[in-house]
Amino acid sequence: MNGTPVWEVLASKAQREVRKAQQKLAEAQLRREQAVEREEKLDELLIEYSDRLASIQKRAHSTEEAGNYRNFIVQLQTIKSRSTVEFQNIERACTEARREMLLADQERLKVEHLVKRAKEQRQQEREQRDSREAETQSMIQFNLRARLQR
């Protein structure tokens, strides 16, 4: 019985799983980087509009103008808080994707080890079979020579 092809199929499948897990991790890390960039942009906007509000309060201004800035700042803060929650979710997704990739890689290594062991076992069986065949041939030749010499 030749079981190696089964192990090789399992090794191939394990490799595909590792690639899928790596892709999932890369996508999660990209989403994380994008979330960080969005949060930085929101921070910049908050600072910019807070500075603008402070500067118009130093001069004569209408209450409507100041109210518009305050409303916009409140909206930015709401978006920022949602962005923070989204970032935390993305962080969890990254952690989970990293864990899945490590598990898939461990599985791949385990299957590759089993493939190697199966190949070594097959090689050993071949060598034993060849050795038995050589011994059998030697005994047959010995017996034939012995008969011929009688």
Stretch among 3-7, 18-22, 65-69, 146-150 having the lowest mean pLDDT: 3-7
Region 84-102 average pLDDT: 95
pLDDT band at 4 (very low <50, low <70, confident <90, very high): low
Q: Tell me, what's the pLDDT at 61? A: 75
Max distance between CA atoms of the chain, in angstroms, equals 132
Q: Which residue carries 């299957």 as its tokens? A: 111
Cα three-residue angle 49-38-56, rounded to 5 degrees: 0
pTM of model > 0.85: no
Distance of CA 81 to the CA centre of its chain: 29
Q: For the chain, which residues make up each domain, given as ranges?
A: 4-149
Q: How many contiguous H segments (helices) and E segments (strands) does the chain have?
A: 2, 0
pLDDT digits (tens, 9 = 90+) for 13-54: 999 999 999 999 999 999 999 999 999 999 999 999 999 888
Between 117 and 60, the higher pLDDT residue: 117
Q: Tell me, what's the pLDDT at 1? A: 47
Q: Tell me, what's the pLDDT at 58? A: 86
- CATH for 4-149 is 1.10.287.1700
